[in-house]
Each structure stands twice: as structure tokens, then as C-alpha cells.
């Protein structure tokens, strides 16, 4: 009886050890995933910032072209 209990306890201890290793591996995977998400977030923010700057540059270029056209028209008509 005591031997069976000891064997059963050893088996449970082995299973607990395996489960601990699994939990530690999952923790490592979660850390890697979190790191990847952080890098992805930074990359996407950079892309959005560049897209916004490009968009603003288009507006500035259009405004400058329109200003030049209006100045030329004003000078021609006066």
C-alpha cells in the first residue's frame, strides 16, 4: 500500500514537473509574442506617420502651385 502511494506520488510529481515545463515554455512564447507585437506596433505607427507626412506634403505642394498660378494670373491681368 505504501509502495503504491509512493509510486503514485512519484507519477504525480513527474506530471507536475512536465506541466511546469509547459507553463514556462508558454511564458517564453508569450514574451516573444509580446515583443513581436510591440515591434509591429512601432512599425505601423512609423508607417502611419510617414503616410500622414506624405499626405500633408501633397497639400502643401498643391497650395504652392495654386499660389503661383494666382500670382501669375494677377500679374497678367493687372
As a whole number of angstroms, the distance between CA 19 and CA 17 comes to: 5
* Domain extent listing, the chain: 1-77
As a whole number of angstroms, the distance between CA 35 and CA 3 comes to: 48
Q: What does 6-74 look like in DSSP terms, one character per residue?
A: HHHHHHHHHHHHHHHHHHHHHHHHHHHHHHHHHHHHHHHHHHHHHHHHHHHHHHHHHHHHHHHHHHHHH
Segment 3-10 mean pLDDT: 85
14-36 pLDDT tens trace: 999 999 999 999 888 888 999 99
Segment 47-62 mean pLDDT: 98
5 — pLDDT class (breaks 50, 70, 90)? confident
Amino acid at each position: 500500500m505504501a509502495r503504491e502511494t509512493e509510486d503514485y506520488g512519484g507519477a504525480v510529481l513527474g506530471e507536475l514537473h512536465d506541466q511546469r515545463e509547459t507553463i514556462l515554455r508558454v511564458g517564453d512564447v508569450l514574451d516573444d509574442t509580446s515583443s513581436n507585437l510591440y515591434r509591429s506596433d512601432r512599425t505601423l505607427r512609423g508607417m502611419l506617420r510617414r503616410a500622414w507626412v506624405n499626405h500633408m506634403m501633397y497639400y502643401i505642394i498643391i497650395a504652392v502651385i495654386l499660389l503661383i498660378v494666382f500670382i501669375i494670373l494677377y500679374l497678367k491681368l493687372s
